[in-house]
């Protein structure tokens, strides 16, 4: 079965999800909450991804964590300031061209596709079903060509690997024709939730657009050690064989990976399978959407410090706090708190 056919089997209704309730130990009270949440917000889970997660469970703690990862709930754990402080981006308009975001002078983000293979419950983004057309992409190439300081282009989304190989090749070809673009990155959950997307056709295509000094990186998001399944680690290994380095950025999520044992196991397992832990992220919170997953900065720092006291630095990610599209260190965040008070991010420009 190819990846397009596998996507058609995604679980998008309560009736399809209900088949897994027994294995997930879902009681009637939970089932009612889940039904209400799905009717309100929808659901989208790749079938094999869910089945692999369920089959990987070996104890009650893991079962609870997996349930938190895949089952929607209506309850929240904190309330967010409803009148955020606005701070302008120092680089001016951060969306100078449709589909392109620039928060730093040396790099830009392109969102060729705004849809996703899987609706991650901790995601703060609105779900959209659209992609960039050739005209819009041409304007993006023109913008990058006129800004020689841009040497790093990140293909993000949504999910960039929902884009066809032909269209991705067109994008890579055009970017490689811009001499000052050195680094190209894919920020994707495909190796985690739909590893069949990393097929021979994709690997052959992507391999043509990396050379010495012009690398391609894949930055993915494994949030729990049980996501490192046989098929997902196979996908990563195939990328490594093509000379594509794989990194991981993981939000630290309450009830999923915010305990020391799980955090340690995740980062050790990533290193074992040739994935460099890149960022540990204090999760972006949006009221009524993902606030139940919020883990305070101090808790994330404690996880990292304890990990560093026992294990090699290769498995230690860098701690960041995203605010308005910028990546702040803990000290930068504390300085902001002194200036503006404590707020939770709602959009890229508001905290």
Q: Give which of 206, 214, 156 is closest to 183, Cα–Cα.
A: 214
Mutual orientation of helices 297-310 and 330-340 as an angle, nearest 10°? Answer: 160
118 and 200: one domain?
yes
Cα of 72 vs its chain's centroid, Å: 18
Q: What is the mean pLDDT of the chain?
A: 89
Instruction: Look up the pTM and report it.
Output: 0.90
pLDDT at 350 over 90: no
Give me the percent of the chain exceeding a pLDDT of 90.
76
Query: Do 206 and 117 have their domain in common?
Result: yes
Cα atoms in the 13 Å half-sphere on the side-chain side of 140? 27
130 Cβ contact list (under 8 Å, min separation 6): 114, 115
Domain finish residue from 53, 70, 87: 70
The answer to whether residue 130 is domain-embedded is yes
For residue 155, what are the β-bridge partners?
A: 110, 186
Range of the domain at 240: 100-340
Q: Looking at the structure, do residues 125 and 25 belong to the same domain, yes or no?
A: no
Are 201 and 274 within one domain?
yes
Mean pLDDT of 147-169: 97
Contact 191, 198 (CB under 8 A): yes
Q: What is the pLDDT of residue 286?
A: 76
- Mean pLDDT on 13-37: 94
Number of domains in the chain: 2
Regarding whether 157 and 10 lie in a shared domain, the answer is: no
User: Which among 159, 149, 146 has a CA at the least distance from the CA of 110?
Assistant: 159
pLDDT at 289: 78
Q: Which residues of 37-60 are buried (b: 16+ CB within 10 A; e: fewer)?
A: bbeeeebbbbbbbbebbbebbeee
**Same-domain check for residues 299 and 168:** yes
Question: Which phi and psi angles does 185 have, rounded to 5°?
Answer: -125, 145
């Amino acid at each position: 079965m190819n990846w397009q056919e596998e996507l058609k089997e995604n679980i998008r209704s309560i009736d399809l999800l209900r088949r897994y309730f027994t294995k997930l130990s879902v009681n009637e009270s939970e089932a009612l909450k889940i039904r209400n949440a799905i009717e309100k917000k929808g659901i989208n889970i790749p079938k094999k991804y869910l089945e692999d997660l369920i089959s990987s469970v070996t104890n009650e703690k893991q079962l609870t964590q997996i349930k938190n990862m895949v089952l929607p709930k209506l309850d929240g754990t904190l309330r967010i300031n409803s009148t955020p402080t606005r701070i302008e981006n120092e680089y001016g308009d951060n969306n100078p061209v449709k589909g392109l975001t620039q928060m730093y002078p040396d790099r830009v983000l392109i969102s060729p596709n705004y849809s996703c293979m899987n609706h991650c419950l901790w995601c703060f983004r609105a779900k959209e079903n659209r992609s960039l057309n050739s005209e819009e992409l041409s304007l993006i190439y023109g913008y990058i060509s006129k800004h020689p300081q841009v040497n790093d282009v990140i293909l993000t989304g949504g999910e960039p690997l929902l884009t066809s190989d032909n269209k991705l090749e067109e994008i890579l070809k055009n970017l490689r024709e811009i001499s000052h673009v050195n680094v190209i990155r894919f920020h994707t959950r495909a190796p985690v939730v739909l590893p069949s997307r990393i097929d021979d056709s994709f690997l052959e295509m992507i391999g043509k657009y990396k050379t010495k000094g012009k690398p391609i990186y894949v930055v993915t998001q494994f949030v729990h050690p049980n996501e490192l399944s046989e098929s997902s680690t196979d996908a990563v290994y195939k990328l490594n064989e093509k000379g594509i380095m794989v990194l991981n950025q993981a939000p630290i999520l309450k009830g999923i990976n915010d305990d020391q044992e799980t955090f340690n196991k995740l980062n050790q397992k990533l290193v074992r399978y040739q994935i460099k832990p890149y960022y540990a992220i204090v999760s972006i919170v949006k009221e009524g959407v993902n606030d139940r997953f919020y883990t305070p900065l101090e808790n994330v720092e404690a996880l990292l410090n304890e990990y560093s006291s026992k294990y090699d630095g290769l498995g230690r990610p860098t701690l960041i706090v995203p605010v308005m599209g910028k990546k702040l260190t803990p000290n930068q965040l504390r300085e902001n708190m002194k200036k503006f008070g404590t707020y939770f991010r709602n959009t890229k420009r508001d905290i």
